[in-house]
Structure 1
Amino acid sequence: MDLGHTDMRNPQAARDGQGQFPARDAGPSREAGTGRELLAALSLEQKIAMLTGADNFTLPGEPGIGLRGLVMSDGPAGVRGAFLDPADRSSSLPAPIALAASWDPQLVEQVAAQLGREARAKGIDVVLGPTVNLVRTPFGGRGFECFGEDPVLAARTAAAWVRGLQSEGVAATAKHFVGNDAETERWTADSLIDETTLRELYLVPFEACVTEAECALVMAGYNKVNGATMTEHEHLLRTVLKQDWGFGGAVVSDWFAARSTEPTALAGLDLVMPGPDGPWGEQLAEAVARGAVSEAEIDEKVLRLLRVARMVGALGGEPSASRPGPHADRRVLRTAAAGSFTLLRNSTGTLPLGRDAHSIALLGPNAMFPQYQGLGSAQVGAAIAVSPAEGLRAALGQDAQLTVRQGCRTWLTTPTPEPGTLTDPATNGPGARLEIRGKDGALQHTDVLGRPEVTWWDPMPPQVVRTDIAELTFRTLFRAAAAGPHRFAVTGLGALRLELSGPFDDPSPIVVADTAPPAADPVEPLSRPFEIGTVLDLDEGDSVQVFASCDPTGHDGEFTRFQLGVVPLPQEDTLLKEAVSAAQSSDVAVVVVGAAAGTESEGYDRQTLALPGRQDELIAAVAAVNSRTVVVVNCGMPVLMPWADQVAAILQVWFPGQEFGHALADVLLGELEPGGRLPVTIPRSEAGCPVGPARPVDGALEYSEGLLVGYRAYDKGGTEPLFPFGHGLGYTSWMFEGLDVPVGPVRAGADVEVTVTVRNTGRRPGREVVQLYLSEPVDNADSDGSGTAALPERHRPVRVLAALGAAQAEPGEAVHVRLRVPGRAFARWDAQKQDWVYPRGRYLLQVGHSSRDLRLSAPVQIG
């Protein structure tokens, strides 16, 4: 049964129905002997049943035609699997924003292929990624899942990601289509976006996933766009996605985003998730019976599903049996992390550290509690996680003294206890005993966990029925490693209780109890859960019997969250003084700051761009006593840096995944060059952000800035950001020596080939990212009327990124970098004509190191 092959880089071929994902108008002749033969063997009831999930992450199979169920998993930065199983850990990859910072599509493709191999090993057919929404504002809680603020960079990165994943026979899902660029009221917000802005900005990365990378699925978001819910948006789903772009894969709803029967079925939605409940099923069968929805519409949806199934081997192929490993190649992830690290400042060549760095103070909350990943559905249970201290110790050996100090506290949720401090009371072995009991009091599940934390999505462990859970409990004995105050806490969804017994004057236990309030978003409690707790003063060696419980009644939906936290609580002034003292007595101070667990997540947006806690104060105090202060910023989205001109170096490391520590050591010590360039602009202040917090007004979120997002707005307004889009330093220097462009006029719509000559003028090998920006003619008047201004000039950007490439060279070597500027880069969307137009004129091409460091320019005549 050959369902064919397509090259989606040829949209016309796709529209003609030639290929793996032919469009809906391909006609019976092109499907003969393939999917249509299978359709003939299915009843209407069977076909409709195939279009809604069997459970939270599986589509039902149909044995009669050799179709097994398709298994899905979240996975933008690692394949979680169906649930966060402590026994089935995953590789933790650099976050998508970090991959975008590499400006290296080949590297991105390689990393995504690693993800695909691990997905296959876990029995996963469909990965629910990549997230290709744009970073409209740095306040977005989920920006770390995206590929930056520019549509061209996002498109190049997303297409590479899709190609890499699907090269391993795993289907990619471009999400969240479209205008789902903020978390606040994401279930209902109406994104008001004019069509020119949609076409020229927000749709571009999705279009590349479809037409260039042959993406198998597209996920329709929760939000509305211009009044229509995305799962019911016929213009965007059917006209733009399926007809204009020739998408022949399947459109799947975001989880619970399908809220109607006929409108979703007729608009172009193909699959409803999760299941087995939902608005289709019997209701869709009734709609077909009364003629509201045609059976041909159902057939088209099934054909699209079958194409995806054929691609992943689920149609007459081998069962998707989960098996252990292999995890991703750690060398690839280590190189990718270093390739994303973005050196923002390096005064007096502080980095890489030289042999004179005999003592290093490693300071800051993220040195001890690093953030490897953002939270929400992108989170995985990492099999390995190398901290900055572990990475530096391994790299330094006996060559330098390393002193580690916390500096300040930033955590929002009390961390789980340090290894070796807990004892299971039943066995006297290490860990905490987890028990789950049903409403009849019977024990459903027990386990001993070294880290007392459970986060379950779906399914639950064997023998556990989520809706029957009456109580989850942890029992353990905590032994204090040092004297001082300790915080004991329990977090979870439901009624919480914490009982502490031990070396107290009063023999009765200390009891704390409360109930978690309802959350605004169902994912929010997973990332910043409700917590109760208390503080006890302990002596070294004191033992405390701990009993923690959670009754999830009333919170028995799709998630389960339960965690026991215990952490020493030294005075913050003491932490700060210890860090400053260590910095003063060391040759170099490396301060690792950034996000805390829960500050960047799906489900809610950021309220501030400031670093949490006293981190700014810590950096300033350390810089005052050590002129060789290196600040490592560990976060997914930009933060304010009021101390930027006070420190020697700033290294933005994003959420780098499991190899954080090794990659950091590689870059600090000069084994690898920091390869990153900013995929987002870093602002000087919150007030200076072109788009602030995205808060809907009366349910509407107006994109009034139009095309002027990110660096485009800074350029148009003539204002200076702290660090511009595209900025990033390496460990060598470069000269741009030549820019060769076509001499004569170029036909409208044709690609433009450009050659840039760059020379490595430094002392070590390196890589330079060559960025090409395009400025439109000031006067786009067109004598024959073939091109008209879609927007007034005051709303058009000064320049836009049009192409990117890279040079790798030895010291003194010159390299010719060939760039292709797509013909579409010279086009505008004409809302009146509902088509692309190509204004004639002299366009200016500028190449350089960043959007604000442009070294060479040349005009090109179009038309």
Structure 2
Amino acid sequence: MKHTELIKKMTLEEKASLMSGKDFWQTQNIDRLGIPSIFLADGPHGIRKQQAAADHLGLNESIPATCFPTAAAVANSWNVELGERIGNYLGKEAVAQKVNVLLGPGVNMKRSPLCGRNFEYFSEDPYHAGKMAAGYIRGIQSQGISACVKHFAANNQEERRMSIDTIVDERTLREIYLTAFEIAVAEGNTKTVMSSYNKLNGEYTNENLHLMREILRDEWNFEGVVVTDWGGSNDRVAGLIAGNELEMPTTAGETNEDIIRAVRSGLLKEEVLDECVDRLLELIFTTEAVYEKSPSKEFNMKEHHRAAQEAAEESIVLLKNEGDILPLQAGVKVAVIGDFAQQARYQGAGSSIVNPTILDHTLNCIEESGIVSIGFEPGFERYGKRNQRKIDKACALAEKAEVVLLYMGLDEVTEAEGLDRQNMKIPQNQIDLLHALYKVNSNIVVVLSCGSAVEMPWIDKVKGLIHGYLSGQAGAKAILRVLTGEVNPSGKLAETYPLRYEDTPAYRHFPGKEVSVEYREGLYIGYRYYDTANVEVLFPFGYGLSYTTFEYSDIQIIPEGVAFKITNTGTRAGAEVAQLYVGCNSADIFRPKKELKGFAKVSLQAGDSRTVLIPFDDKTFRYFNVKTNQWEIEEAQYEIMIGASSADIRLKGIHAVKGTNAPVPYDKEKLPSYYSGQAGQVSQEEFESLLGHKVPAATWDRTKPLGYNDTIAQCQYARSAFARFAFHVIAFAHRFLWKIGKRSTANLIMMSVYHMPFRGIARMTGGIVNMPMLDGLLMVVNGQFFKGFRHFFRERGKMLKVAKQNN
């Protein structure tokens, strides 16, 4: 331990106090010993430090900060150095706002396109996500503060996120859902990890000894701090034993008492508590050092805005360019249509929402872009209501134009933390507008703004398609520069776009609605499934067009990696993302047809060539063997593929690899779907063979009384008529608010009430409601109405009395 002498001076009560927050965003301080509090703030793509009352839902406005493109956008750059530069800027702004721990980046896998938080995550591929995250982390921590990679782990749905049990086999967990975290720890050297809300195979992640101790600490040698997601602590003592140091937000001392009792009873060894205190002290002192050297630092808002624009420019993806309609020719008359051109859709919603320092909108930037605009029409209502008058006015404008720029996308209430999307569709009123415009002018270029994959049955009606994702505060200008050709697009998709949602591998098992969610598809998420099962897609993983062309040649496979030549065969300077995929030719152990194992972004002038080397590393040939319980290498011939996307392989070669002679871990006869790759319809029996045990019941036991980890939604089955009535009031309020257009408020009800477990009432209220009071509420819910309320108010009285005595 690094702070043994200081810890010796601390009382048990002081040690316990450090393990929970002082308030919503700060850790506890101990002035007697010179231990300051530190500040944690949201910030995957911009700092969210609130000036007024603190919350975790993005309700109260924060101090202005640069809103960079979200992770889903920057992932399309495939540029680790860009991620590091963004991290550097984020770190500078965090220091300017005196933030010690920046809560990001997020590296959870895009298991389903419908996860409401996909805009905050990088990729459907763990290698890609891990590399991008490591870049961000290095940049943030270069400024002396801490990044916080999240949400650890297997947190891939928002619905019931605080209580859902993720059922996943060990190999899939290791290869798909933990690899990005592993890279973030090993290559990013993150100082902080955030545990997720969900359970993992029956245990809450922050209490899961296998995840927290055996993997994170013992295998990966992580020596930093683990912080709960806000309100994510279930059993505080079990969390500490697992090595989850910091609980946020404050519980007003309630869980401190749990820790003290556990130490005095022998349930928690004081040495374990001391280890946790030591790691937290190291985080406090190392991140406070930057403020001791320079207590006040300002950042250049204009410089950071330009950096946000450059990041957006490199992340924009050109998906369609029929007849070379793009870049727009000089002097062409353009009609600008779509509400998103007037009010940019540039970021997601929830805890990551940023109050931008500057905000570009298309209509404010179009004149300086050189585009000749003949006018603007919104064309549609932003939140989905059909308006024929707006369609008619848009069509009248489109008739006069040579090209229509149509700004489409998803609105702010569709993609939000705490909620999953209901479908993969663009709102119907926008599609109706597109069809109407097509009848009067077929030269349509769509500019798409959303943070996740959408279905595009309408794509045959457009000649050009630019996807900006959620491109941050400078995204509007960046998109215009791509449209005019000032910037040659170089972004490539970091997720597959299926033809329809029903084609996705997790379709039948997303989201988990009650107790658990089964990851029956195993390793086969994203392109791993589509390529192996030969499922046709709209746009493959790694796909993106350019205004120039690239030729690949001269592949050479050497022990260190694969070398090849890229030539810019077009007439413009541009950048190409070359991707290394590896496939194993053995049939002994099931694997996807190909897996991403490296990538390189190469900038070339027209006519220039460059030889590129993508090195092999410790992850190139490995798989996790559940029989030996470790990483192994299968001795086999491996196909080495260099592609412009997962579906556009330009060069191939064979490489023989010596193995570790591990035993084959599977009975092939019992896992036919996994060996064939047809993992979209795995039976329960086959999934149980993969797991090695029976799957738990996926539905609530409606005969049992409700407890701490049951949700408010389960009040519909409560014994108490009062509780059932309360549930119906909540459900009605949600429907009513949605219908009258108060959709953000309706979403808030679902996120912070409907899916909240009862323990969350205590964990998220900062001591206003404690666990004994919650016991009273549960008595009410379970049919003991008068006894429950008496208990509630009696315990509240006790709490207020103690608080008064302490003051």
Give your verdict on TM over 0.5: yes
Q: Offset at 1:316?
A: 9.2
Structure 2 SS opposite 1:687: helix
The answer to whether the aligner puts 1:716 opposite 2:532 as a matched pair is yes
Which position in structure 2 is the counterpart of 1:638?
453
Map 1:344-493; keep pairs closer than 5 Å: 344-357=319-332, 359-396=333-370, 400-411=372-383
- Code of the aligned partner of 1:199: R
Whether the 8 Å CA contact 1:171–1:215 is kept in 2: the answer is: yes
- Code of the aligned partner of 1:775: G
Structure 1 SS opposite 2:650: strand
Which position in structure 2 is the counterpart of 1:530?
none
The answer to whether the aligner puts 1:189 opposite 2:170 as a matched pair is no
Separation of aligned partners in 2, 1:620 and 1:807: 39
The equivalent position to 1:220 in structure 2, one of 189, 195, 200, is 195
Map 1:130-145; keep pairs closer than 5 Å: 130-145=105-120
- Code of the aligned partner of 1:840: E
Which position in structure 2 is the counterpart of 1:827?
622
Structure 2 SS opposite 1:389: helix
Separation of aligned partners in 1, 2:381 and 2:520: 39
Q: Offset at 1:65?
A: 3.8
Which position in structure 2 is the counterpart of 1:235?
210
Cα separation, partners in 2 of 1:119 and 1:328, compared to 1, 3 Å:
farther
Map 1:745-784; keep pairs closer than 5 Å: 752-780=560-588
The answer to whether the aligner puts 1:113 opposite 2:97 as a matched pair is no
- Code of the aligned partner of 2:378: Q
Separation of aligned partners in 2, 1:856 and 1:324: 46
- Code of the aligned partner of 1:242: R
Q: Offset at 1:231?
A: 1.6
Residue by residue over 1:250-285, the C-alpha shift from the partner in whole angstroms, topping out at 9 and shown as x without a partner, is 111111111213211212211111014366312101
Whether the 8 Å CA contact 1:207–1:245 is kept in 2: the answer is: yes
Residue by residue over 1:16-51, the C-alpha shift from the partner in whole angstroms, topping out at 9 and shown as x without a partner, is xxxxxxxxxxxxxxx4xx422222232222122111
The answer to whether the aligner puts 1:860 opposite 2:655 as a matched pair is yes
Whether the 8 Å CA contact 1:118–1:328 is kept in 2: the answer is: no
* Number of aligned residue pairs: 650
Q: Offset at 1:620?
A: 2.3
Separation of aligned partners in 1, 2:40 and 2:444: 45
Separation of aligned partners in 1, 2:327 and 2:290: 53
The answer to whether the aligner puts 1:95 opposite 2:63 as a matched pair is no
Structure 2 SS opposite 1:282: helix
Whether the 8 Å CA contact 2:206–2:228 is kept in 1: the answer is: yes
The answer to whether the aligner puts 1:58 opposite 2:26 as a matched pair is yes
Whether the 8 Å CA contact 2:144–2:290 is kept in 1: the answer is: no
Separation of aligned partners in 2, 1:278 and 1:606: 37
Cα separation, partners in 2 of 1:799 and 1:203, compared to 1, 3 Å:
same
Separation of aligned partners in 2, 1:144 and 1:194: 26
Cα separation, partners in 2 of 1:355 and 1:261, compared to 1, 3 Å:
closer
Map 1:13-52; keep pairs closer than 5 Å: 31=1, 34-52=2-20
Structure 1 SS opposite 2:465: strand
The equivalent position to 2:39 in structure 1, one of 57, 63, 71, is 71
Separation of aligned partners in 2, 1:730 and 1:378: 31
Residue by residue over 1:438-461, the C-alpha shift from the partner in whole angstroms, topping out at 9 and shown as x without a partner, is xxxxxxxxxxxxxxxxxxxxxxxx
Considering fraction of residues, name the structure with more helix. Answer: 2
The equivalent position to 1:726 in structure 2, one of 522, 529, 542, is 542
Residue by residue over 1:794-847, the C-alpha shift from the partner in whole angstroms, topping out at 9 and shown as x without a partner, is xx2110111000111111111111111213220110112110111111100111
Separation of aligned partners in 2, 1:50 and 1:590: 55
Residue by residue over 1:626-654, the C-alpha shift from the partner in whole angstroms, topping out at 9 and shown as x without a partner, is 23211011000111111212211111110
Cα separation, partners in 2 of 1:830 and 1:306, compared to 1, 3 Å:
same
Residue by residue over 1:401-433, the C-alpha shift from the partner in whole angstroms, topping out at 9 and shown as x without a partner, is 341111111327xxxxxxxxxxxxxxxxxxxxx
Which position in structure 2 is the counterpart of 1:702?
518
- Code of the aligned partner of 1:831: V
Structure 2 SS opposite 1:252: strand
The equivalent position to 2:612 in structure 1, one of 817, 820, 828, is 817
Structure 1 SS opposite 2:129: helix
Whether the 8 Å CA contact 2:50–2:63 is kept in 1: the answer is: no
Residue by residue over 1:711-743, the C-alpha shift from the partner in whole angstroms, topping out at 9 and shown as x without a partner, is 11111211111011000011100000121112x
Q: Offset at 1:315?
A: 9.4
Residue by residue over 1:44-69, the C-alpha shift from the partner in whole angstroms, topping out at 9 and shown as x without a partner, is 22122111100000002233443321
- Code of the aligned partner of 1:118: E
Which position in structure 2 is the counterpart of 1:662?
477
Separation of aligned partners in 1, 2:587 and 2:188: 35
The equivalent position to 1:677 in structure 2, one of 492, 501, 509, is 492
Cα separation, partners in 2 of 1:812 and 1:234, compared to 1, 3 Å:
same
Q: Offset at 1:79?
A: 0.2
Whether the 8 Å CA contact 1:69–1:314 is kept in 2: the answer is: no
- Code of the aligned partner of 1:712: R
Whether the 8 Å CA contact 1:306–1:315 is kept in 2: the answer is: no
Residue by residue over 1:302-345, the C-alpha shift from the partner in whole angstroms, topping out at 9 and shown as x without a partner, is 11112212331259936966978757612211011011111011
Q: Give unpaired runs (5+ residues) of structure 2.
A: 52-58, 659-807
Cα separation, partners in 2 of 1:394 and 1:326, compared to 1, 3 Å:
closer
Whether the 8 Å CA contact 1:91–1:328 is kept in 2: the answer is: no
Structure 1 SS opposite 2:539: coil
- Code of the aligned partner of 1:763: T
Separation of aligned partners in 2, 1:305 and 1:218: 12
Residue by residue over 1:691-715, the C-alpha shift from the partner in whole angstroms, topping out at 9 and shown as x without a partner, is 2272215411000000000111111
Structure 2 SS opposite 1:824: coil
Q: Give unpaired runs (5+ residues) of structure 1.
A: 1-30, 413-568, 747-751, 781-788
Q: Offset at 1:348?
A: 1.4
Which position in structure 2 is the counterpart of 1:127?
102
So what's the TM-score if we normalise by structure 2?
Answer: 0.78
Q: Offset at 1:212?
A: 1.0
Map 1:2-21; keep pairs closer than 5 Å: none
Which position in structure 1 is the counterpart of 2:186?
211
Cα separation, partners in 2 of 1:848 and 1:124, compared to 1, 3 Å:
same
- Code of the aligned partner of 1:375: A
The equivalent position to 1:244 in structure 2, one of 215, 219, 224, is 219
Q: Offset at 1:370?
A: 2.1
Map 1:602-617; keep pairs closer than 5 Å: 602-617=417-432
Cα separation, partners in 2 of 1:808 and 1:338, compared to 1, 3 Å:
same
The answer to whether the aligner puts 1:837 opposite 2:632 as a matched pair is yes
Q: Offset at 1:777?
A: 2.0
Whether the 8 Å CA contact 2:199–2:205 is kept in 1: the answer is: yes
Structure 1 SS opposite 2:72: helix
- Code of the aligned partner of 2:387: E
Separation of aligned partners in 1, 2:125 and 2:516: 24
Separation of aligned partners in 2, 1:87 and 1:278: 27
Structure 2 SS opposite 1:59: coil
Whether the 8 Å CA contact 1:616–1:642 is kept in 2: the answer is: no
The equivalent position to 1:626 in structure 2, one of 427, 441, 450, is 441
The equivalent position to 1:171 in structure 2, one of 146, 155, 159, is 146
Cα separation, partners in 2 of 1:362 and 1:272, compared to 1, 3 Å:
same
Whether the 8 Å CA contact 2:506–2:520 is kept in 1: the answer is: no
Cα separation, partners in 2 of 1:799 and 1:316, compared to 1, 3 Å:
closer
Cα separation, partners in 2 of 1:86 and 1:274, compared to 1, 3 Å:
closer
- Code of the aligned partner of 2:516: A
Whether the 8 Å CA contact 2:87–2:140 is kept in 1: the answer is: yes
Which position in structure 2 is the counterpart of 1:499?
none
Map 1:727-746; keep pairs closer than 5 Å: 727-742=543-558
Structure 2 SS opposite 1:69: coil
Whether the 8 Å CA contact 1:35–1:306 is kept in 2: the answer is: yes
So what's the TM-score if we normalise by structure 1?
Answer: 0.73
RMSD: 1.9
